[in-house]
Structure 1
Amino acid sequence: MRKPGTLWGISLGPGDPGLITRAAWDALQRRDTIWVYPARSGKTPSYAFDIVQRAGLAPPADHTQLLFPMTHDGEKLGRAWLKAAETVLPWLNEGRDVLFLVEGDASTYATFGHLARTVKAISEEVPVQIIAGVNSFTAACAQVPVPFSEQDDTVAIVPAAYGVSAVDRLLPDFDTLVLMKVKPILDDLIDWMQRRGLLAGAHFIERVGAPDERRYSGNAILELRGTKVSYLSLLIIKHAHRIRGERIKGCLKKETV
């Protein structure tokens, strides 16, 4: 019996081709593989494929996009995952490795997990491997720049779809909040940050690392109210930064006395 090929999750980083890791770069040099990459619809180009194109990487002879619709409808998502798995399984069963291109990190809020789980449910002997990558929120912190976390900071990474009330409940317990995919409730989040006095430590980053990246910090975030933003947008809120800053100033004053 022929040994099946491996399904690979190839992390590409959030948008800047320079953040593709050496391991991912080496995997993408192989000509004996098949590339697949996610798209939200047939009319929307794949962001992951755009990253490798901007990196100057030529695809192998066989490559195709897989549709993963933007919906919370479990039945529709299940059908999409099954169709994607049925697309890649014939190649895997032929012994060919399939490389699934993922923006960011393949194990962090990525479509790769759905595909891998569905493939394994149908054919559990298919090996699955992930090449880790730079995720969007650490890349965004580097761009701002602010530290993602320091010393004993507590951090929460939350899809904004949980809603403002859920985020508000987390606020007292975490020094840093990372709110992913903020597009649907951005105006509500802006109002909430303004009420809570959080704008001074807030940073909005859209399509981090891409040529059309946008960044807004502090009160400039108010300019986004009522505007359209990309699905690939996030907010970083540093809740305790002023307290930490005041401690540093206090130490400096003591040293100069």
Structure 2
Amino acid sequence: MKKRSLLRAGLESQDVLLGEIRAALEGCVELATMFEQPERRPGRWAANVMVFVPIEAIEDSALAEYAAACPYKRLSFDRGQLAGVLWLRQDLSFAITFGDGATRESPDPGLRPMALPVPAQPLTDSLRLLRVLPGAPYALCANRPAGYPDTLELGRTAVGDCDLPPGASDEMTAYFEPATSPRVRSLVSLPLPRVHEAAPAGWVWSRPSGDRVTLLRPDQLAAGVVNIHRDQGRMACTDERLLLFHPVIVPLLGVVRDLVELHDSDARDVQHPALEPGP
């Protein structure tokens, strides 16, 4: 029996599926903490899903709402330039604070709505600079994990690697200032496993380090990204240990992908389901 028919048969309710997604996100956090030194484990950890919404599925009114939910106001949401939007779903989130015991919050009450543009052309014509933002959009387009031991690095990365409107990198830096985002001091963005059978194809970007990265065509992008973050800098799985962490977490990311697809499969008649996450 297909996953969609299971839901329609009533074997899985929306609430049950949400609980399963959040449990899978808790598993993602637990895996991340295993790479941490015991003395650095206390503090607040969280995980969330950003769902990729293709541009052809977004009506003009919804696109305006997504643009309003982007914290970087200098970025363009011009329909003709977008592959789609990454939408931060508050309902698909989990947080836990380790101290004297563990305090779980599901969904994460500290999560703010956010939409980020995903350009149809992720590189400039010269193929030297990115048009895609660092963080989750880059992880999605490059189909590889992206770790940031200090979230202030996102603004600095944008200055060196990206062709963005003037002032956009400053907006990113301001957004991740400790006073503004105290719970997001380090971050790793992990693309959900792709279901495409074709080999990844698109544009090749040569990073300043010499590493060559393939940026995918819009029709090959994954269903979204899982972000894991914490309230301290230098989360272990954001450094060289990311190469060890990513293969371990990929099966769990596949579970998240399948559960989100199952949860959303019967919500297609909602005009803008991504804009109505609910608690």
* Structure with greater proportional strand content: 2
**TM-score category (smaller protein):** under 0.3
TM-score where L is the length of structure 2: 0.26
Task: Return the TM-score normalized by structure 1.
Answer: 0.28
Q: Which has the higher helix share?
A: 1
Greater gyration radius: 1
Work out which structure has the larger RCO, using CA pairs closer than 8 Å and 6 or more positions apart in sequence.
2
